[in-house]
Amino acid sequence: MSERHEPPEVAPPRHETRDISLRAVIAGGVVIGVAVGGLVILADMLFPQKSLDRLLKPPFPVIAEPALQSDPAADMAAFHAREMATLNGFGWTDPAHGAGHIPIEQAMRQIAREGINGWPVDGESGP
């Protein structure tokens, strides 16, 4: 008892017309265009200094190019040497006000010997 089933009648293939609406695409494009245009106008109102660019006259100021370190270890050693010379030497910090610096070891000995005005001493409680 084998029955033969005939395939149902199928319509010829065609594109789906309900996927997208041309009206929606056009309306979306108009909305995006109006939004971008509005943002451009808003940016122009918020940042009016764009006209300053037109006021600059040549020759334009020369901006130094970034200096690359060719030898970072040597640069760090030179920096360390300058810092140690400052820490271990005498010099003026602000000559106009009579402020200078002394070697760090000497300063620590002097502070240990004389103390700091208003600083609590061992065994003394604060206010």
Q: Is 106 left (phi over 0), alpha (psi -120 to 50) or beta?
A: alpha
Residue with tokens 């206010």: 127
Sign, Cα dihedral of 14, 20, 21, 25: negative
Residues 6+ apart with CB under 8 A from 4: none
pLDDT, tens only, 96-113: 999 998 999 999 999 989
- Answer whether 69's CB lies under 8 Å from 75's CB: yes
pLDDT, tens only, 7-24: 778 888 887 767 778 899
Give the global pTM: 0.38
| CA torsion, ordered 106, 112, 116, 117, to nearest 10 deg | -120
